[in-house]
């Protein structure tokens, strides 16, 4: 039997690859930790599932309140702080 088109798993793999490329472009752009969290928050607001939206926004807010080593405001003082902070991966 001749295969016509892509299988569901091939389509899913293509979509996942596209997601990875988007993330790579964002990382290459040079985001601070606060910007990454804010982007996650903003993307969560676009979720179709209200439950997913609530889980993700609650998680982002919990991370912001627990992590004392990163300042999450986007003011110049915090941006300077985050830029001077050593990074685990030099990306």
Residues in Cβ contact with 40 at an 8 Å cutoff, skipping those fewer than 6 apart? 56, 60
- CA dist., res. 63 & res. 36, Å (int): 12
pLDDT of residue 91: 47
Backbone torsions φ then ψ of 43, nearest 5 degrees: -65, -40
Let me know: does 54 contact 47? Beta carbons within 8 Å.
Answer: no
pTM > 0.85: no
User: pLDDT tens digits for the chain (91 residues)?
Assistant: 666 767 777 778 888 899 999 999 988 888 888 889 899 999 999 999 999 999 999 999 888 887 565 555 555 555 565 566 555 555 4
């Amino acid at each position: 039997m001749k295969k016509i088109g892509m299988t569901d798993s091939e389509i899913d793999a293509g979509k996942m690859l596209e997601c990875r490329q988007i993330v790579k472009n964002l990382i290459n752009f040079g985001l601070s930790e606060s910007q990454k969290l804010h982007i996650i928050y903003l993307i969560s607001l676009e979720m179709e599932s209200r439950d997913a939206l609530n889980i993700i926004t609650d998680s982002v807010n919990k991370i912001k309140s627990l992590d004392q080593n990163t300042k999450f405001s986007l003011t110049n003082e915090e941006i300077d702080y985050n830029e001077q902070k050593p990074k685990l991966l030099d990306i």
